[in-house]
Structure 1
Amino acid sequence: METTTAIRYVRGDATSPQAKGAKVTAHIRNDLGGWGKDFVLALSRRWPEPETAYRRWHRERAQNDFALDALQLVQVSPDTWVANLVGQRGIRTRRSAGAPVRYEAIDRGLQTLAEHALVLGASVHMPRIGCGLAGGRWDRIEPLVAARLTARHVPVTVYDHD
């Protein structure tokens, strides 16, 4: 399912990026410090460091840049990083009004991700970020990925899990 945005779509697991060289696996986190469900479970099974770093980042937020749209890059192997991008306000509950996704925060976080990817010479790998528990719509997020990453010649692969 190739689109004009030059985003490559594959069936597979974003925790096993299909690329040579430097690579970043990106995903969306909430601003509450919660890690518990969805894609992060697979991420934590593969690499424990991103969860540990994210929880520390949130816990010490009074002394750092933790906020909506912030990005934390965690190196998990010599050529692989995980990008914890804060793009969700709170979590969805039974009493929630609307989805917790914050498109503006994802947009700004992707801009920061592009800067890091360009410096590292890395490709970016992700599930359909913001579309799981965050409740976002891919038809709103895909143009952000295209504008912030592929338009700057950062290769992006989106993984649809079987």
Structure 2
Amino acid sequence: MTPTDLQDAIVQALREQLAPLRLTNSAGHEVGVKVFPQFKPYRAPRPAPTTNDDDIPEPYVLVALVNGEQTAIDSPNKVDVVIAVEVCDPDPNRQGYRDASHILNVILGYFERKVKIARAFELVRPIKWDNDLDPNKHPYYSAAIGLHFEGPTIYREEPET
């Protein structure tokens, strides 16, 4: 099992967990939450803003492998993952953070119920989360969760010489 196996398992699980959730995108359409590994898909610039829901990423969740570490041959493989959330809420009352927080709570609930991810990676506490408090990003609202996992030890196949 590798960190990308962990990432793939989280992406699949979050797609299932977030499937019932419907939010408004920047075109004003009610859509499901998209979940992407590592980055949003690249979209070629267009001469005019699009209203095609497939071209609009939000609301979305990114599952990013941030870094990892294995301190010794017999130590666990440590992997840090950040799950980033972005939603769009053009309402001037600036309550879009609530949608981002709701998505965070669904994700946190999932990790509270799971002991191991991808049958091999164990979540290590604490779990840290954060809401972006920059008022200049309206109508976009962001939040993130930082997760730390310990996974299978990677062993050498050849003896040391």
**TM-score, normalising length: structure 2:** 0.30
Q: Which has the higher helix share?
A: 1
Q: Which has the higher strand share?
A: 2
Bigger relative contact order, structure 1 or 2 (CA pairs below 8 A, ≥6 apart): 1
Larger Rg: 1 or 2?
2
